[in-house]
């Protein structure tokens, strides 16, 4: 009996970097894709593109910042696919505002979307990886999770938190067979940049971030790439 292909679960998979990760894995890595995001219509469009590339895909609409929703999603994923082999915590939201003008609601929203979501999703899938002594966990942080900048109070706080969460999990999982990688992209062309006035040519394509993640995943099991930093060639965006 042939072994089943590994299950790759991607949050925030309905657009931007998440959608690019889905397409790159579908095109270049034999796997089964579990695509997670809130927007079911956009998820279906991404899934359709991946199916055309010959990959088995299922969508799981979910608010990954809500604990009950995440637990329900995890049960459905396990029932449909079985254990998750590669978890890519990509869900996130960007909003900019100076510290003094950042509302409590905005701060809570960005922490929930970027940091709480990564904790909740990893928390439900990690035990099975540890039990099987195998798995890959990716956290999508940002350059903003390494270096602070003006007008980024809530976003930087959230991404610094993601970076810290990844470092702690890496420290706790050494020698277990579970690999943890934190990804720090600079400016990457996604819908959030469409009205920025910055030319697309100055910004990294989302497919490059996706391919970097795939390359890390393809390393031998004896190697873990703990962090990836990617920046646009033309500047420090």
Q: What is the CATH number of the domain that holds 152?
A: 3.40.50.720
- Given a cut of 60, whether residue 108 has pLDDT beyond it is yes
pLDDT given at position 121: 98
Q: How many Å separate Cα 175 from the centre of its chain? A: 23
Residue 1 is classified by DSSP as: -
pLDDT given at position 174: 97
* Proportion of the chain in helix, strand, coil states, percent, rounded to 5: 50, 20, 30
Please give the residue that has the higher pLDDT: either 234 or 74: 74
Ranges 52-66, 75-89, 120-134, 181-195: which has the least confidence: 181-195
Ranges 108-122, 165-179, 185-199: which has the least confidence: 185-199
Rounded Cα gap, residues 80 and 5, in angstroms: 13
Q: Which residues pair with 179 in a beta bridge?
A: 136
In a domain? residue 235: no
Structural domains counted in the chain: 1
In a domain? residue 236: no
In a domain? residue 221: yes
- Please give the residue range of the domain that contains residue 219: 7-192+201-230
Alpha-carbon distances of 192 from 32, 69, 116, 173, 189, rounded to whole Å: 28, 25, 21, 34, 8
In a domain? residue 237: no
Q: What is the mean pLDDT of the chain?
A: 95
Residue 97 is classified by DSSP as: B
Can you tell me whether residue 235 is helix, strand or coil?
A: coil
- B/e letters for 116-155, b = 16+ CB within 10 Å, e = fewer, are bbbbbbbebbbebbeeeebbbbbbbbbbbbeeeeeebbbb
pLDDT given at position 189: 80
Q: What is the tens place of the pLDDT at every residue in 7-16?
A: 999 999 999 9
In a domain? residue 207: yes
pLDDT given at position 118: 98
pLDDT given at position 197: 73
pLDDT band of residue 201 (cuts 50, 70, 90) is confident
* Pairing of β 204-205 and β 188-189: parallel
Rg (CA), the chain: 17
Question: Which helix H or strand E contains 27, and what residues bound it?
Answer: helix 16-28
Do residues 6 and 86 touch, judged by C-beta distance below 8 A?
Answer: yes
**Residues above pLDDT 90, as percent of the chain:** 89
Read off the pLDDT of each residue in 169-185 and give the average, rounded to a whole number.
98
- Given a cut of 80, whether residue 194 has pLDDT beyond it is no
pLDDT given at position 208: 97
- Given a cut of 60, whether residue 1 has pLDDT beyond it is no
pLDDT given at position 132: 97
Ranges 57-71, 157-171, 222-236: which has the least confidence: 222-236
Can you tell me whether residue 34 is helix, strand or coil?
A: strand
End-to-end distance of the chain based on CA atoms, in angstroms? 50
Q: Please report the beta strands in 42-199, taking only residues with DSSP state E, as ranges in sequence order.
A: 56-61, 86-89, 135-140, 178-185, 188-189
In a domain? residue 68: yes
In a domain? residue 1: no
Count, in order, helices (H) and strands (E) of the chain.
7, 9
pLDDT given at position 199: 79
Q: What is the tens place of the pLDDT at every residue in 56-75?
A: 999 999 999 999 999 999 99
In a domain? residue 205: yes
Residue in the structure block whose two tokens are 């790439």: 225
pLDDT given at position 32: 98
């Amino acid at each position: 009996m042939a072994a089943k292909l590994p299950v790759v679960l991607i949050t925030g998979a309905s657009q931007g970097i998440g959608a690019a990760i889905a397409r790159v894995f579908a095109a270049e890595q034999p796997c089964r894709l579990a695509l997670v995001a809130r927007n079911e219509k956009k998820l279906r469009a991404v899934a359709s593109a991946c199916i055309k590339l010959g990959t088995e895909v299922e969508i799981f609409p979910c608010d990954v910042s809500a604990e009950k929703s995440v637990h329900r999603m995890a049960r459905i994923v396990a029932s449909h696919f079985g254990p998750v082999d590669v978890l890519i915590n990509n869900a996130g939201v960007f909003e900019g505002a100076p510290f003094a003008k950042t509302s409590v609601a905005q701060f809570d929203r960005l922490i929930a979307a970027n940091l709480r979501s990564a904790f909740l999703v990893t928390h439900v899938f990690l035990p099975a990886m540890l039990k099987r002594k195998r798995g890959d966990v990716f956290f999508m942080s940002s350059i903003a999770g390494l270096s602070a900048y003006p007008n980024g109070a809530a976003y930087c706080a959230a991404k610094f938190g993601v970076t810290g969460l990844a470092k702690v999990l890496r420290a706790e999982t050494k020698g277990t067979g579970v690999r943890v990688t934190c990804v720090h992209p600079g400016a990457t062309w996604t819908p959030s940049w469409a009205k920025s006035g910055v030319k697309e040519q100055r910004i990294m394509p989302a497919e490059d971030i996706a391919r970097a993640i795939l390359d890390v995943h393809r390393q031998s099991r004896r190697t873990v790439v703990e962090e990836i930093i990617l920046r646009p060639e033309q500047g420090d965006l």
